[in-house]
C-alpha cells in the first residue's frame, strides 16, 4: 500500500519545515505502508534535510520532460534527484485542467521520469460532466493508453492514482463503491500487479471505508495531509489501527 500527501501550493518553505518535523513525531519506523509527501518545489531542499534517514519518502508535484535547456519555469528531473526526490506526480487533474497538460505531454513526462529512475504517480480521472454522460471508463482508458504509450512499465516504478475531478477539494468524495468500480477497471486495463490509489477529499472519517475495498491500495491525500495528525489518522485507518 501507498500513502501520499500532496501539499499543493499551500505552504511556504518555513511552514513546510514545521509540518515535516511534526510528521516525524507521528511516523516512526517501521511503517507498514510506504508514505511520501509532495511539497512545493521551493520547499524540497529544506524538507529533504528533515526527512533524510526517516521512513518518509520525498516526492515532487511535477517534473519537466527534458533534463536541461530553454524551458523557463520548469524543473529538471536531475535537480529533483539531487534533492533526494524519489517520487513524482504526473497528470494531476489540476495540471490537466488548469494548465492544459494533455496526454501527449504527460506521456513525455512519464517517459523521462522513468528513464531517470524516478517513481511515477500517474493520475487519471473524469470530470462531473464526463461521469454524468457515462464516459468515465472511456476517459480513463484514453488517459491510460495515451499517457503511458510506449513506456516500459512495471509495478515497481508506477502507481496509478484515480482522482475523480468532481471530488478533488470539494469535500465530495466518491463513495467506496464508485471508487472500487473504477479501481477494478484500471487493474483490468493494466494488470493486477499495479497499485491503484484513490485521491479526492480523503479524510480520516472516510479512509477506513475506502481502504476496505478490494482494489483500493492507498491514497493520495490533499487537504488532510496538511495536518500531521489527520494524515497519521489516515495511515492508521489503512493499517487497521
Catalytic residue (one of 40, 94, 163, 183): 163
Rg (CA), the chain: 17
Cβ–Cβ < 8 Å for 227, 209: no
Sign of the C-alpha dihedral computed for residues 149, 150, 155 and 159 taken in this order = negative
Q: Could you tell me if 89 and 76 are in contact, meaning their C-beta atoms sit under 8 angstroms apart?
A: no
Q: In angstroms, rounded to a whole number, what is the distance separating the alpha carbons of residues 241 and 41?
A: 33
Q: How far apart are CA 119 and CA 2, in angstroms?
A: 12
Distance, CA of 173 to CA of 204 (rounded, Å): 12
Catalytic residue among 92, 94, 101, 126: 92
- Is residue 241 flagged as an active site residue? no
Annotation says 132 is catalytic: no
Q: Which residue has the cell 533524510?
A: 52
Catalytic residues, which ones? 92, 163
Amino acid at each position: 500500500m501507498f500513502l501520499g500527501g500532496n501539499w499543493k501550493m499551500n505552504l511556504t518553505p518555513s511552514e513546510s519545515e514545521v509540518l515535516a518535523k511534526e510528521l516525524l513525531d507521528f511516523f516512526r519506523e517501521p511503517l507498514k505502508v510506504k508514505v511520501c509527501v509532495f511539497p512545493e518545489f521551493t520547499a524540497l531542499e529544506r524538507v529533504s534535510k528533515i526527512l533524510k534517514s526517516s521512513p518518509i519518502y520525498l516526492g515532487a508535484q511535477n517534473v519537466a520532460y527534458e533534463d536541461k535547456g530553454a524551458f523557463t519555469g520548469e524543473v529538471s528531473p536531475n535537480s529533483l534527484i539531487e534533492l533526494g526526490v524519489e517520487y513524482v506526480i504526473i497528470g494531476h487533474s489540476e495540471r490537466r485542467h488548469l494548465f492544459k497538460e494533455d496526454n501527449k505531454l504527460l506521456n513525455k513526462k512519464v517517459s523521462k521520469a522513468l528513464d531517470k529512475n524516478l517513481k511515477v504517480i500517474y493520475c487519471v480521472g473524469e470530470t462531473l460532466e464526463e461521469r454524468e454522460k457515462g464516459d468515465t471508463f472511456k476517459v480513463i482508458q484514453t488517459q491510460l493508453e495515451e499517457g503511458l504509450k510506449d513506456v516500459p512499465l512495471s509495478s515497481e516504478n508506477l502507481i496509478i492514482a484515480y482522482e475523480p475531478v468532481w471530488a478533488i477539494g470539494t469535500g465530495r468524495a466518491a463513495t467506496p463503491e464508485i471508487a472500487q468500480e473504477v479501481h477494478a477497471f484500471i487493474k483490468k486495463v493494466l494488470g493486477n500487479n499495479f497499485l491503484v490509489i484513490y485521491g479526492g477529499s480523503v479524510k480520516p472519517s472516510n479512509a477506513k471505508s475506502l481502504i476496505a475495498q478490494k482494489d483500493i491500495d492507498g491514497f493520495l491525500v490533499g487537504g488532510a495531509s496538511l495536518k500531521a495528525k489527520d494524515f497519521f489518522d489516515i495511515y492508521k485507518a489503512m493499517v487497521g489501527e
